[in-house]
Amino acid sequence: MPSAQRPPRRRIFAKTLLAILISGSALTLFWFGLVPQRLSPLAPLSLDQANPWFVDFRLAALRRDASLCVATLNSPHITAEPVGDKPFSNGCGWRTAVRMSKAGGATLPVGTITCEVAAALALWIEHDVQRLAREMLGSPVTRIEHMGGYACRNIIGSKALMAFRSQHATANAIDISGFRLADGRSVKLASNWGDSTAEGRFLKAAHGAACHYFRVALGPNYNKAHHDHFHLDRGPFVRCK
């Protein structure tokens, strides 16, 4: 049947399907950081901006663009320097990674972490963790304790997923275990999570805020393997628990 004589319903369906396919493809390209910055309608991410629009896509744009990474990770928001790529082998390695020592005014030394995770950490710490610490605990955070970034290993703690490589295997994840405050106090996941104290409420709020910047933000409520840390990653899946 010639298209001019097609019933309108069929034409509407075809147009809707086409629109879904085009927007789905565009979202996929942004999701995987495949849109080069020079072709992107989104401005490059700026770490001094709280709650940036389309923060997920703008973080993903850092994944394959070393010069954009260098331009984005700047002082005083973060202290970081690029490290050479480690070609992927057996599911392990990294690209566009940095070595960092400070983010959002707190010491946070990490040997190798993707630029994307480093930028997400800087935004989270500067605009959320520090504000929450001042409001809820009356003191800023001076040091963030972690249990590691890069590790060539599979997912642990879940039988269904243990056959798959962890995001740690590509330096795209970090495990945060606690926060040291300027007044000398330490707030730890292992001892303060679930408390009805200000420290316990602070940890809950910090976890919730992490979900804005990290696609996966798992804490003690997720499973036993996470009883003492937040697992934060910028992989392809989304989970906030």
Cβ 85 vs Cβ 66: under 8 Å: no
Which residue lies nearer to Zn ion by CB, 93 or 157?
157
Question: What is the amino acid identity at position 72?
Answer: T
Q: Give the nearest distance from C-beta 131 to Zn ion in angstroms.
A: 25
SS3 78: strand
Determine the Cα–Cα distance for residues 63 and 59; give it in Å rounded to an integer: 8
Question: What DSSP assignment string belongs to 111-177?
Answer: EEEEHHHHHHHHHHIIIIIHHHIIIIISS-EEEEEES-S----B--S-TTTTTSB-GGGGT-EEEEE
Contact residues for Zn ion, defined by CB under 5 A:
173, 175, 231
Which residue lies nearer to Zn ion by CB, 69 or 173?
173
Q: Give the nearest distance from C-beta 164 to Zn ion in angstroms.
A: 13
Which residue lies nearer to Zn ion by CB, 128 or 175?
175
Q: Give the nearest distance from C-beta 77 to Zn ion in angstroms.
A: 24
The Cα angle at residue 202 between residues 201 and 207, in degrees rounded to 5: 100
Q: Give the nearest distance from C-beta 230 to Zn ion in angstroms.
A: 8
Which residue lies nearer to Zn ion by CB, 155 or 181?
155
Which residue lies nearer to Zn ion by CB, 166 or 192?
166
First to last CA, the chain: 53
Measured from each CB, the residue nearest to Zn ion is: 231
Q: Give the nearest distance from C-beta 148 to Zn ion in angstroms.
A: 8
